[in-house]
Chain A
């Protein structure tokens, strides 16, 4: 009898915050009443291991049990039966009590492609740390080691339950893996790598300024390090015959466990049971049918398929997908824990379905397809999703399909970015972005899980079956783990798929108010950019207006041609450096009379400027004012052109030209506020005037406004260009489209000087 076998014993469980660990803890609490439990939990932040244990009890896995015994009783049972130890298996440095009878080691990193050092630290170093502590404690605990069936590596045919046949030295691999980070960090600081990072950062963020570029370059370097370490892991695994670093480290972990169990640093041998589940999925019956914690391996694929975004998948239709429900694995672990093998003669169990109740990839696909055809996922405003039909064209075909998709997305991305700024451009960008995510998802899952769907391997489970058969009928009822009890159709269509899709059944209505509205408050500032944000116009256009207003119509063509000729060079400069562009352009005002320009703007250009202002923008400025916010306009445009809009703002930061004898010199009085200078200026203002930037607002349209937008708590992208739009989407900033009213001409021209009753002279 299992319960009796474990009665009066003390069981240590690791990884109780994980998927299998919490299920094991729940099962032992609920159904094995006379066993003392110890859990090893890593303190997190201010939470002690005890706090984390209590938080853990709120998880769904405990719901049924707590309901059955009552909340208070549940707390009391936990307080009475469960002892906690602060400790991190990966880091080591903890001691274990000497009275342990069973150690259930469930802790592991479940990511298939972690950076090599992280994978080895948790799965291999963690195992060594734990079992070493057991050996040091002097207890003769039975080690129940949770592994995976896939430790067998990439191979075809039958894999028996026994020690792994390989000659890889885990010590060498561990040392190399842990050293990899330092080495990669060092390599990442080589000029070639830094240059590449800087170049990419510049291409994307040049307009936003040097600080943004360097921050992005550093982010790219760190990303490079991580990616490189992932590559290290994946390729080392491949070169040794494993599909990924997860299975490699689990395999080496088994070998380390075997060595320690055989006698470690002179201590006595320990009994060891290695339990190797295959792909663990939602529970068949306990704690309730369909229980699952987070998404494991198959769920993202099932969901993507259900959403209609997975047109095909690499895999062999007749290959076996070895899935095992979580509660069967938990049962197997408990039963294994109750059956102590002889020290020095480890026991091995495959907890899998492929041998006795195989599920082919095609059958899995058909069941999932049937499920979604009967219960399609809702699609917002579009009824229901139609799921695709897979042809199983084989890896090569899928691979070429993927490569084409990736190339197309790349080309589309580049093309869309070069389109003129418009709501249409942004719509296309969103579409391409969505497409890219889909392709990236497929790539990732095809690479990661493709091998599992292509495996032509069978994990025999004779020993596990034998263990199961030894159970009394009563125990078999409660703790059985015979995979033949699974009815795949029922499990997939009535239990697993409903469970993993439950969260997607409710589609919230599209929220109409996308942006938060300003709230009344003091110490709040609202900063607005001018061109493209408030105004669909620019400094070149204002200059043209001014010139044309000054000149009789007969001279217009010559003037327009002169500006047009200068335009290519101006635009090229603008793309490079906004400040440089402004300096260059403003030379054109050299010699113009200040009073004349002011009069012309007031009488003629002001009207054109007001025509180009977006009513929604002006409404927003005024809304901020109503709420008592300080409104600020920051622009590279000349101060004289801002006059018509100036009354809307408490402060206007515009470019000013130097004046000598009532005429402009064409030189700027001080450097123009562009890019990062705006953010720096704003921070200084905030410091000096007790403004709370976290509650403040900024509105900008272009990538060069990024530093300004980042400086406040409420950034808003208005009619954003491609660069800013990408950032805004990534960071979930509100995006607003502010246009001028219908009826406003696209090209506005002032009344020519000769057609006006009064003439103003600007140039002497």
Chain B
């Protein structure tokens, strides 16, 4: 059994603590009394994974065993999570590969010929052949690519089916092949509590029309938090849509959870609590830190994006979506949740080099906002980690840089939309429609490797709850112009940031630092 999560209160004996800041990190001294949230120690992985997979498929929750669902002549579609999960990408073999290979073996044994594999990329960019190959392995890639292994295309009207509306009037429109199939097997990796469950099919295979009911400012700001499904308006919507999908499509869900082995062995010190570093860890820190600082930025980015996580699988559950997801959430909370008493005046995050939308890409300023105010801020259950009107301090260089192929609409969003307003609701009313239906963005989404035109809007909405809640956002080391464009302030040092925040929170604020990654989530009492 691993150690549970831990809240450290910084005292005189506390060494400086690791803070991530984009493609780099440093040791930072925190003021006395700062509370630092550490996740539980990395859980041990399942032994004999293949046997566990076979077992899960043979003994599913609230569903018939998979072999019994397979028969010759049927239409089988295997859908899997796209490149946005896990972060960083998992060292090969990816768990999706292992699960899908097991499913395919069963299908082959039953003589199923009509098999299609679809990446549930929704409005994300298409996965490249290289990325598909990494996620699914050489064998599957060679057998199915390109004709039977493809990306979901949310802008192909011929391959979408409108299934109807939920009782709340929410349009459900998803991939036609999935709807036409006798069985959809969905293979996921559940990295955070927000994902999985009814987010998989109704969102991963949806069109823009079908995303609008929950990907909007109103729903997002009423999802408190996104990682606490019972209290998330967004998940309520997913569930309603999931119920509708289930009326039309037979879905066999396979969900997997990972432990917290985020960084490879060479960077093992990043997985550890600082006061437990050995001499070797300290030496490695110094060596890696200096080498990293000296590496040219472009090469540094390549190296960071080349790292693969030695994740181990902590859970594999198959069967009916809701039954499976219940187990999955338990496993996630077991790995990530730490209890903490009361809210802070200042909440601190060190933002790493990668978020779900810049795998093999550039973390542009909008993604910095989304990672800090969207993902990290929502890593709570109960109450936000910071009090209403408190300050948020982020560490990230926030360079004014964009990947033009992956994020073309982000460039224009940053130059045109944010120049006019940073208020999510205003932006939604005034600009969303235009970007979402822009033929050029749609063309790039379908034919190049671009995120959909509307995607930067979702990124901005993701931060709506935090923007509403906190009084001040300060980015330590952030590019001044880029931060100003987003309505944030940038500080040269952590001390300066605290000085700047003192206007909002006074001279002796209560500070909480969520040490993340490895992924940590707070249960705030």
Q: Among B133, B141, B440, which residue has its beta carbon within 8 angstroms of that of A647?
A: B440
**B residues 422-461 with Cβ under 8 Å of A?**
438-440, 443-444, 447-449
A173→B415 CA distance, assembly (Å) = 69
The reply on B403 being an interface residue by CB < 8 A is yes
The reply on A91 being an interface residue by CB < 8 A is no
The reply on B31 being an interface residue by CB < 8 A is no
**For A607, what are the chain B residues with a Cβ–Cβ distance below 8 Å?**
405, 448-449
Given known contacts A647-B440, A743-B362, is B399 in contact with A610 (CB within 8 Å)?
no
**For B448, what are the chain A residues with a Cβ–Cβ distance below 8 Å?**
606-607, 610, 644
- A361 CB to nearest chain B CB (Å): 53
Given known contacts A751-B130, A758-B129, A758-B145, is B440 in contact with A740 (CB within 8 Å)?
no
Given known contacts A622-B440, A741-B404, A743-B403, is B362 in contact with A615 (CB within 8 Å)?
no
The reply on B408 being an interface residue by CB < 8 A is yes
A757→B149 CA distance, assembly (Å) = 13
Would B145 and A757 count as touching, CB distance under 8 A? yes
A741→B364 CA distance, assembly (Å) = 11
Would B405 and A757 count as touching, CB distance under 8 A? no
Would B130 and A615 count as touching, CB distance under 8 A? no
The reply on A611 being an interface residue by CB < 8 A is yes
- A347 CB to nearest chain B CB (Å): 74
Q: Residue on A with the closest CB to B399?
A: A742
The CB with the most chain B CB atoms within 10 A, among A607, A615, A745, is that of: A615
A648→B416 CA distance, assembly (Å) = 19
Would A756 and B130 count as touching, CB distance under 8 A? yes
The CB with the most chain B CB atoms within 10 A, among A618, A648, A743, is that of: A743
A644→B408 CA distance, assembly (Å) = 13
The reply on B298 being an interface residue by CB < 8 A is yes
The reply on A46 being an interface residue by CB < 8 A is no
The reply on A619 being an interface residue by CB < 8 A is yes
- B412 CB to nearest chain A CB (Å): 6
**For B405, what are the chain A residues with a Cβ–Cβ distance below 8 Å?**
607, 610-611
- A78 CB to nearest chain B CB (Å): 57
Q: Residue on B with the closest CB to A744?
A: B404
Would B439 and A611 count as touching, CB distance under 8 A? no
Chain B, 134-156, contact with A by CB distance < 8 Å: what is the 0/1 string? 00000001000110000000000
Would B402 and A743 count as touching, CB distance under 8 A? yes
The reply on A613 being an interface residue by CB < 8 A is yes
- Sort chain A's interface into a size bin: 20 to 34
Would A743 and B401 count as touching, CB distance under 8 A? yes
Q: Among B129, B130, B402, B416, which residue has its beta carbon within 8 angstroms of that of A742?
A: B402
A420→B103 CA distance, assembly (Å) = 59
**For A603, what are the chain B residues with a Cβ–Cβ distance below 8 Å?**
129
**For A616, what are the chain B residues with a Cβ–Cβ distance below 8 Å?**
415
Q: Among B129, B364, B440, which residue has its beta carbon within 8 angstroms of that of A757?
A: B129
Chain A, 718-748, contact with B by CB distance < 8 Å: what is the 0/1 string? 0000000000000000000000111111000
Would B400 and A742 count as touching, CB distance under 8 A? yes
Chain A, 591-617, contact with B by CB distance < 8 Å: what is the 0/1 string? 000000000000100110011010110
**For B415, what are the chain A residues with a Cβ–Cβ distance below 8 Å?**
615-616, 619
**For A606, what are the chain B residues with a Cβ–Cβ distance below 8 Å?**
448
Would B133 and A615 count as touching, CB distance under 8 A? no
The reply on B10 being an interface residue by CB < 8 A is no
- A300 CB to nearest chain B CB (Å): 42
The reply on B411 being an interface residue by CB < 8 A is yes
A615→B449 CA distance, assembly (Å) = 16
**For A618, what are the chain B residues with a Cβ–Cβ distance below 8 Å?**
408, 440
**For A742, what are the chain B residues with a Cβ–Cβ distance below 8 Å?**
399-402
Would B449 and A741 count as touching, CB distance under 8 A? no
Would A740 and B404 count as touching, CB distance under 8 A? yes
Would A615 and B408 count as touching, CB distance under 8 A? yes
Would A615 and B440 count as touching, CB distance under 8 A? no
- B275 CB to nearest chain A CB (Å): 37
Q: Among A610, A745, A756, A757, which residue has its beta carbon within 8 angstroms of that of B408?
A: A610
**For B443, what are the chain A residues with a Cβ–Cβ distance below 8 Å?**
647
Would B401 and A757 count as touching, CB distance under 8 A? no
Given known contacts A618-B440, A648-B440, is B401 in contact with A611 (CB within 8 Å)?
no
**For A611, what are the chain B residues with a Cβ–Cβ distance below 8 Å?**
403-405
Would B129 and A756 count as touching, CB distance under 8 A? yes
- A757 CB to nearest chain B CB (Å): 5
**B residues 355-412 with Cβ under 8 Å of A?**
362, 364, 399-405, 408, 411-412
- B168 CB to nearest chain A CB (Å): 35
**B residues 467-498 with Cβ under 8 Å of A?**
none
Would A757 and B411 count as touching, CB distance under 8 A? no
A379→B399 CA distance, assembly (Å) = 35
- A744 CB to nearest chain B CB (Å): 6
A742→B410 CA distance, assembly (Å) = 13
Would A741 and B133 count as touching, CB distance under 8 A? no
**For A619, what are the chain B residues with a Cβ–Cβ distance below 8 Å?**
412, 415-416
- A536 CB to nearest chain B CB (Å): 11
A745→B402 CA distance, assembly (Å) = 11
- B300 CB to nearest chain A CB (Å): 13
- B118 CB to nearest chain A CB (Å): 18
Q: Residue on B with the closest CB to A647?
A: B443
**For B416, what are the chain A residues with a Cβ–Cβ distance below 8 Å?**
619
Q: Among A613, A648, A758, which residue has its beta carbon within 8 angstroms of that of B404?
A: A613
**For B438, what are the chain A residues with a Cβ–Cβ distance below 8 Å?**
622
- A720 CB to nearest chain B CB (Å): 22
A606→B444 CA distance, assembly (Å) = 11
**For B449, what are the chain A residues with a Cβ–Cβ distance below 8 Å?**
607
Q: Residue on B with the closest CB to A644?
A: B448
**For B408, what are the chain A residues with a Cβ–Cβ distance below 8 Å?**
610, 615, 618
A622→B441 CA distance, assembly (Å) = 11
**For B402, what are the chain A residues with a Cβ–Cβ distance below 8 Å?**
615, 741-743
Would B439 and A757 count as touching, CB distance under 8 A? no
Q: Residue on A with the closest CB to B409?
A: A615
Would A757 and B404 count as touching, CB distance under 8 A? no
- B434 CB to nearest chain A CB (Å): 9
Would A757 and B133 count as touching, CB distance under 8 A? yes
Q: Residue on B with the closest CB to A613?
A: B404
A610→B411 CA distance, assembly (Å) = 13
A745→B444 CA distance, assembly (Å) = 20
**For A745, what are the chain B residues with a Cβ–Cβ distance below 8 Å?**
298
- A607 CB to nearest chain B CB (Å): 5
**For A743, what are the chain B residues with a Cβ–Cβ distance below 8 Å?**
362, 364, 399, 401-403
Would A757 and B141 count as touching, CB distance under 8 A? yes
Would B130 and A757 count as touching, CB distance under 8 A? yes
A611→B400 CA distance, assembly (Å) = 16
A619→B409 CA distance, assembly (Å) = 10
A744→B401 CA distance, assembly (Å) = 8
Q: Residue on B with the closest CB to A646?
A: B443
Q: Residue on B with the closest CB to A758?
A: B129
**For A751, what are the chain B residues with a Cβ–Cβ distance below 8 Å?**
130
Would A615 and B129 count as touching, CB distance under 8 A? no
A758→B133 CA distance, assembly (Å) = 10
A740→B405 CA distance, assembly (Å) = 11
Q: Residue on A with the closest CB to B363?
A: A743
- A604 CB to nearest chain B CB (Å): 10
Chain B, 296-314, contact with A by CB distance < 8 Å: what is the 0/1 string? 0010000000000000000
- A624 CB to nearest chain B CB (Å): 12
Would B404 and A615 count as touching, CB distance under 8 A? yes
A742→B364 CA distance, assembly (Å) = 10
**For B364, what are the chain A residues with a Cβ–Cβ distance below 8 Å?**
743
A613→B146 CA distance, assembly (Å) = 28
A756→B403 CA distance, assembly (Å) = 21
Chain A, 603-646, contact with B by CB distance < 8 Å: what is the 0/1 string? 10011001101011011001000000000000000000000100
> Can you add 18 more A-B contacts, CB < 8 Å, to A603-B129, A610-B444, A644-B448?
A607-B405, A607-B449, A611-B403, A613-B404, A615-B408, A615-B411, A615-B415, A647-B443, A648-B440, A741-B401, A741-B404, A742-B400, A742-B402, A743-B401, A757-B132, A757-B133, A757-B145, A758-B146
- Sort A-B residue pairs by CB-CB distance and give the 7 closest, nearest first: A743-B401, A741-B402, A742-B401, A615-B411, A757-B133, A757-B129, A743-B362
Q: Would you mind naming 8 contact pairs between A and B with Cβ atoms under 8 Å apart?
A: A610-B408, A611-B404, A615-B411, A618-B440, A622-B438, A742-B400, A742-B402, A743-B402
